[in-house]
């Protein structure tokens, strides 16, 4: 019995030791696992915090982008279109999308040198050539059909020391930007053309038709080069009270450019009629023609205006010009006009101008044009005044460069019964560059 009790006690001791060892191992493993789990939880918490921060930053960026887009929409949003104009707006969108609108920017730069001699003094001027001033033309047109063109344009003249304004005592007259044209138009194939705004009247250029190719150097408005120069009297240094070239020479070119409403009839065998109405009950009408017959080119015009004032003479103006260019390059031009003076004490100012020229291509660079001209201008500044002029000019076109260079010589003479004036001699040289952008 005592032996059995000892064995049992030994067994219990062994089992207790094993249980204690196992329990300790389990607790140790459990503690280690708990520590690992704690570390894992902390890492997950850090990752979640980092992700939350990134999500918040992303939300802020999305909010910023949304706000910017809203601002852009507000900035570029078109004005609300009334319901009654929706059809018109849709039509404009349709035409723009189909590229029916044509846009252009074109113009030219024309600068020259003038050397003058008035018998007592020589002068050199740097000018804008008034024969064809520097300019920029911006416009657009649309073709609703193949028979109708609708559009408008604006044209600015740029003058730096105008060649018709420089004088012996003022080589740098004020520069200017001249609003030459700002108008809208409707052109049709069978009903004619309608113009509204500032632009060419019916009689603009009626005395300036010229096919010689030398108009950039000389044509009927001979006073465009040196028009501001004074005639000198013999033996006197005082000249500012004397007549200027502009006083004694004028080509009476209708109403030129004015704010008007104008109409051109459809052409019939190259001929058409133009008419325009302006402010102050002014109006004019012209018959024009431009035709090519068996390679012979000819063009002409004749115009009539209501009363206007030329110098101090008031009356109706009648003027015209005609030019022909033969296949061999020979060409001729005539121009004439007169003022039907209202005042009985005033004789009718009048003039005629003739030019003979040759236009041929001697060099591969472009055509060469040469011409000789003569003009007689009477009664412009005073009764019985007679102004005479003749000139010689040459123009070389450089077609691949959109450029032309030119030179010329002119003499002005003025005869007056009550005074004597010295002649004025002028030498001209310059260049003109043209550009044209279409879209």
Identify the three-state secondary structure at position 400: helix
Return all residues near 267 (Cβ < 8 A) that are at least 6 apart. Answer: none
Q: How confident is the model at residue 13 (pLDDT cuts 50, 70, 90)?
A: low
Q: How confident is the model at residue 296 (pLDDT cuts 50, 70, 90)?
A: very high
210-249 per-position pLDDT tens digit: 999 999 999 999 999 999 999 999 988 888 899 999 999 9
- Which pair of tokens denotes residue 403? 């450029």
* pLDDT recorded at residue 237: 82
φ/ψ of 34, rounded to 5, equals: -60, -40
Asked whether residue 20 is domain-assigned, the answer is: no
- Which pair of tokens denotes residue 246? 């502009």
Asked whether residue 74 is domain-assigned, the answer is: no
* pLDDT recorded at residue 235: 82
Print burial letters for 101-127: b (CB count within 10 Å at least 16), e (below 16): eeebebbbbbbbbbebbbeeeebebeb
Identify the three-state secondary structure at position 346: coil
Give the dihedral of Cα atoms 63, 67, 69, 72; nearest 10 deg.
Answer: -170
Its domain, for residue 238, covers 108-438
* pLDDT recorded at residue 60: 73
Tell me the DSSP string of 247-291: HH-----TT-EEEEEEEEPPPBTTEEEEEEEESTT-EEEEEEEEE
- Which pair of tokens denotes residue 27? 């607790």
Residue whose tokens read 């219990």: 12
Residue whose tokens read 């189909």: 98
Total number of residues shown for the chain: 439
311-328 per-position pLDDT tens digit: 899 999 999 999 999 999
Euclidean distance between CA atoms 211 and 200, whole angstroms? 20
Euclidean distance between CA atoms 42 and 47, whole angstroms? 9
Q: Which of 93, 197, 200 is nearest to 151 (CA)?
A: 197
Asked whether residue 59 is domain-assigned, the answer is: no
52-96 per-position pLDDT tens digit: 777 777 677 666 655 555 544 444 444 454 544 444 444 444 444
Other beta carbons within 10 Å of 244: 22
Q: Is the dihedral of CA 120, 122, 125, 129 positive or negative?
A: positive
φ/ψ of 293, rounded to 5, equals: -125, 110
- Which pair of tokens denotes residue 431? 């260049």
Other beta carbons within 10 Å of 141: 18
- Which pair of tokens denotes residue 316? 């109706």
Asked whether residue 180 is domain-assigned, the answer is: yes
Cβ(112)–Cβ(146) below 8 Å = no
Domain count, the chain: 1
Cβ(123)–Cβ(170) below 8 Å = no
Asked whether residue 82 is domain-assigned, the answer is: no
Asked whether residue 168 is domain-assigned, the answer is: yes
- Which pair of tokens denotes residue 402? 């959109």
Give the dihedral of Cα atoms 189, 194, 199, 202; nearest 10 deg.
Answer: 90
Return all residues near 31 (Cβ < 8 A) that are at least 6 apart. Answer: none
User: 166: left (phi > 0), else alpha (psi -120 to 50), else beta?
Assistant: beta
Q: For residues 310 and 39, which has the higher predicted lDDT (pLDDT)?
A: 310
The pTM assigned to this predicted structure is 0.77
Euclidean distance between CA atoms 12 and 4, whole angstroms? 12
**CATH number of the domain encompassing residue 407:** 2.40.160.10
361-396 per-position pLDDT tens digit: 999 999 999 999 999 999 999 999 999 999 999 999
* pLDDT recorded at residue 188: 96
Asked whether residue 227 is domain-assigned, the answer is: yes
Asked whether residue 77 is domain-assigned, the answer is: no
């Amino acid at each position: 019995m005592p032996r059995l009790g000892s064995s049992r006690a030994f067994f219990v001791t062994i089992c207790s030791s094993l249980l204690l060892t196992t329990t300790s191992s389990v607790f140790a493993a459990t503690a280690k696992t708990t520590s690992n789990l704690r570390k894992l939880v902390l890492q997950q918490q850090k990752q979640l915090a980092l992700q939350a921060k990134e999500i918040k930053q992303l939300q802020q960026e999305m909010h910023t982008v949304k706000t910017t887009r809203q601002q852009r929409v507000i900035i570029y949003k078109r004005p609300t279109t009334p319901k009654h104009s929706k059809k018109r707006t849709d039509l404009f969108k349709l035409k723009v999308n189909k590229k029916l609108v044509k846009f252009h920017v074109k113009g030219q730069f024309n600068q020259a040198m003038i050397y003058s001699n008035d018998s007592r003094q020589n002068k050199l001027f740097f000018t804008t050539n008034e024969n064809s001033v520097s300019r920029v033309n911006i416009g657009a047109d649309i073709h609703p059909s193949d028979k109708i063109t609708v559009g408008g344009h604006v044209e600015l003249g740029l003058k730096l020391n105008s060649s018709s304004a420089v004088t012996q005592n003022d080589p740098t007259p004020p520069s200017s930007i001249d609003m030459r044209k700002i108008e809208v138009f409707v052109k049709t194939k069978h009903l004619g053309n309608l113009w509204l705004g500032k632009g060419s009247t019916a009689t603009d250029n009626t005395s300036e038709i010229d096919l010689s190719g030398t108009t950039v150097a000389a044509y009927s408005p001979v006073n465009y080069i040196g028009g501001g120069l004074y005639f000198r009297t013999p033996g006197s240094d005082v000249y500012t009270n004397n007549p200027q070239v502009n006083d004694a020479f004028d080509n009476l070119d209708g109403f030129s450019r004015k704010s008007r409403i104008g109409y051109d009839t459809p052409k019939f065998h190259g001929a058409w009629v133009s008419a325009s109405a302006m402010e102050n009950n002014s109006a004019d009408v012209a018959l024009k023609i431009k035709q090519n017959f068996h390679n012979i080119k000819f063009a002409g015009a004749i115009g009539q205006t209501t009363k206007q004032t030329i110098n101090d003479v008031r009356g109706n103006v009648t003027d015209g010009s005609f030019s022909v260019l033969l296949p061999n390059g020979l060409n001729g031009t005539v121009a004439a006009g007169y003022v039907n003076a209202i005042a009985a004490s005033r004789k009718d100012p009048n003039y005629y101008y003739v030019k003979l020229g040759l236009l041929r291509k001697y060099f591969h660079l472009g055509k060469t044009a040469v011409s000789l001209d003569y003009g007689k201008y009477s009664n412009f500044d005073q009764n019985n005044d007679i102004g005479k002029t003749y000139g010689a000019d040459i123009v070389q076109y450089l077609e691949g460069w959109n450029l032309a260079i030119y030179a010329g010589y002119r003499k002005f003479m003025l005869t007056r019964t009550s005074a004597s004036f010295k002649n004025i001699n002028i030498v001209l040289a310059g260049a003109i560059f043209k550009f044209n952008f279409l879209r």
